[in-house]
Structure 1
């Protein structure tokens, strides 16, 4: 309180330093992967054995579904289009192999497939067997599937990029002949992450707006809610930065589970706002009693410090226990929340909040508009008037 600037500068530098790795944050939900399970788990061992012996590309291929707009997929024109799509996908760098209606027999040319499929009923059983795996034969051969085996794991960034390339290719070249769909585990991961990215800005804006309005009503101030949002954002970024440094860069992983930052943001903002309301409301009460602002800050911080730090210690212990769990997503959440609560209770509440309020002085309580006094405060005012 005597030298607020001297404490503000290193406080912000520390949080900025911890937040710096967050710009490298790569969010990706794990799919077709047992890496989130402990290494000794039998399900993980079985999965790794299956993927190692048969290849993840064969176990979890990218599935390209083509539904003919006209006729069946066995017509000459549609087979020609399928063959072109097959060759285009096969030419992508990360593709190991593609299985489709026009390449399951490497000795045949396109004309052989076209000729053979015209006499479907007379085909040998082994040919019908291959054909029935790739078309909906019980519904008139109107739809076919291409099985694309990537060279990389289904959960890798390269396989997800391959999904995007295939979708772009289909969008450009197959609209005249087919309705197209791209599925499989890699595609599910891409779509899940995209849905989160699309909704994340709305989540952040909604939390900020609601928090800002509630804090204005609670604190009867403009600068204090702004301060709360800025400091909570810094703590969140610092926690994300530590997650990236420890789990993504430290463990040489491609990404953090995309669920982790969203849950971390929501939970941390809720917990931090509890502390903020508790501390600032006490300072506001002291100020309303006629105590000078500086003295109110000192007394309010002192009176609430034991409660805030005690609650923080309990939550750090609980979240720290989560961080010891061998399931990755739980470990990430526990570590991120423990770091965030530690920073929030020490650097934020014990250093930056009083220092910033000391610098603002009377501006802490500036509000450019007025609204009705809350019911509990109105009763206090009426009681004081009656006593006087």
Structure 2
């Protein structure tokens, strides 16, 4: 239980730090990209199911054919109940569980609109592009963001002709919106305007390295990862990719729970640029991916090391003092949310009831202004709420 909660806490803290630093460095595109992320991997498992997941899966596989045949189709009420459950689980980025929940639903009603939308989202983020597209194509109503995602899925599946067709549809939808009431904000308008010109160029003649770096943030996260992996394969591109690009992609890898890959990206950039700013993230990622023996390049890594291998009270005290006394680290402001996350989980693990409550309230207040929905890459709040609710039981 402690290891589960530690991992959860560090993951959320890492993503918070990445997100806030990212938003400062690319205000227009990142704000628009976040707003348009209608199809957007922090994959956070349900704490109560994580420990037993493998056992349950094994037992399910041992079910006999006779037993499977005896299972009755879901009733209408059961279908809606399971869809509601999938909607709840997808908020925690547990895409594998969403797929398991929705499989019997779609077996009973393959045209259930919300079930297909959620299944498409989940499959997109486990890189099953062709099947994700199958479910999206069953939807009768398609938003601009959905059509854009379908274009990217077609491209990732290797069907450039279909990708081009969906890109044309997206451009027509964009023009119709502009001729009508327009978009909710200039940021959303900007990111969609960039997409309708950049994506066709990407799938036809390609984009230059400089152009790719400028627009990569407007694509859906799985697409961004694929494109970035191609760019990062050549070390001569590193000077153009820059710290911003490496942080963006490390954030996405951490969201997929691939902490080793995320840490490797930050180490690559640190070795190349010889700057200290990546060390903060390297510390967090190493503790997330290790067995209580992460790196201690910065005071945050030292605090987690002290917490697990030394004096827990001293670890908590050091973070509390740092939060108050120092507002600058390696040239950028200390991330208050990151500290609050760490202090919340440290106190929870140390069973400090009053402090846990206090930092939960503080974190909730810090996040009140965040625009969060179940598809956002930066959906941080459910992780804390889930841990808090489980702790209260």
Q: Is TM-score (shorter-chain normalized) higher than 0.5?
A: no
- What band does the TM-score fall into relative to the shorter chain? under 0.3
Structure that is richer in strand per residue: 1
- Determine which structure has more spread, i.e. the larger CA radius of gyration: 1
Give the TM-score taking structure 1 as reference length. Answer: 0.26
